[in-house]
Amino acid sequence: MYEDLLPHTLPSETKRLDQMGRAHDPDTQAAIRRLNLPSASTCLDIGTGRGSVAIWLAQTMPDAKIVAGDLDLSSVRQNDLPNLKLAKMDVRTEDLGEGLYDLVHCRAVLCFLPTRTEILDRIRRALKPGGAFVVTEMDFGPIASGPSRFWASFWTAYLENAAAQDWDFEFGGQLPRLLAGLGFAEIDARYVQPILNHAGDTPGAAEAETWSLTLATLASKLIDNGHMPESMLREALEIIRNPNAWTAGPGFMVATARRPTQDA
């Protein structure tokens, strides 16, 4: 389970989550801005991590009410925002309610949860009619079949390790079709493929550092379970940490959708 392999108690976890926010917040914020939410929106961020999206929402919409939910809230950045409430929740079992939110946001969470499609349906019901859902999930499909043989083999091995614990790193690619099938409307999806360059202070560098920390954390699992030899992991980390390399990383689907004003 996610909480066993990537717990918030790991010494590098705060840094890894910070880098993830730095890498992805620009695309998430752009997607949320396109939705023109009411200023007094009620918002829920599921699996908030460091809380970068929830904190940004609370700061940019002072009249809004933001709930930041996570299994473990210990990594949420210190703040004294009066319109931000923390809620310990396990989205696998949490009653998300009916018709409560103008916005639900969820990034890099559902791929780790075997009941991800059922959770999407509960998220739809938790939205007010016309309320918006912003979801970002990994989609390794293109990179695992990419033109570089080593890179494709490495990420395929990583995908297989993930699949062995019921993590679905191709879930992002299925999102638009799943959202449509569940009755969401106004579905818009963008595929974002960061170029990894481990230098400077850019979102691409943050993404490279996120992968560097994630792979270092999962190294023994990847090797001991026989998904890849140590030499393969070492070579991949050398590419990811090379400040002179510009290498396409795994992609992400950023999707927005709304609960129809009247459910079918």
Ligand X SMILES: C[S@@+](CC[C@H](N)C(=O)[O-])C[C@H]1O[C@@H](n2cnc3c(N)ncnc32)[C@H](O)[C@@H]1O
8-28 in b/e burial notation, b at 16+ Cβ within 10 A?
A: beeeebeebbbbbbbbbbebb
Q: How far is the CB of 221 from ligand X (least distance, A)?
A: 16
Q: How far is the CB of 170 from ligand X (least distance, A)?
A: 16
Q: Is 56 in the site for ligand X (CB under 6 A)?
A: no
Q: Is 219 in the site for ligand X (CB under 6 A)?
A: no
| Site size for ligand X (CB under 6 A) | 21
| Type and span of the H or E element at 139 | strand 127-139
Q: How far is the CB of 148 from ligand X (least distance, A)?
A: 26
Site pattern 68..107 for ligand X (x: CB under 6 A)? --xxx----------------xxxx--------------x
Q: Is 119 in the site for ligand X (CB under 6 A)?
A: no
Q: Toward ligand X, which CB reaches closer, 90 or 238? A: 90
CB 215 within 8 A of CB 233: yes
Q: Helix, strand, or coil here: 68? A: strand
- Token pair listed for 192: 């974002």
Under DSSP, the state recorded for 255 is E
Q: Is 108 in the site for ligand X (CB under 6 A)?
A: yes
Pair type for strands 247-248 and 195-196: antiparallel
Q: Is 124 in the site for ligand X (CB under 6 A)?
A: no
Query: CB nearest ligand X: which residue?
Result: 49
Q: Is 20 in the site for ligand X (CB under 6 A)?
A: yes
Q: Is 47 in the site for ligand X (CB under 6 A)?
A: yes
Q: How far is the CB of 187 from ligand X (least distance, A)?
A: 21
Binding interface with ligand X (CB under 6 A): 2, 17, 20-21, 24, 47-49, 52, 70-72, 89-92, 107-109, 112-113
